[in-house]
Amino acid sequence: MTATTNSPAPWVKSSHSTDNGGACVEWAPSNAPATGIVPVRDSKNPDGPVLNVSVSAFAGLVTLARSGTNA
């Protein structure tokens, strides 16, 4: 897992994100097939850092988010 300010495109906003200050997360799924890395960022700060996680780590994050529990 690495943090970077490089911004791959296109970004996809989480279906739970809102335009009025909700928990806004974006990811760049088109990057994953070629690199095995899923970039994730805060959509409220598109020029901020990008967290790059492996496809399996991203799947774990999605599973955790869907479960509604805190790890």
DSSP output for 5-30: ----S--EE-TT--SSS---EEE-GG
pLDDT in tens, 53-67: 999 999 998 898 888
Note down the domain range covering 33: 2-67
Tell me the HSE value of 1 on the side-chain side, using a 13 A CA sphere.
8
What burial class does residue 71 get, using C-beta atoms within 10 Å of its C-beta: 0-12 exposed, 13-18 middle, 19+ buried?
exposed
Domain count for the chain = 1
pLDDT band at 1 (very low <50, low <70, confident <90, very high): low
Between 51 and 18, residue with greater pLDDT:
51
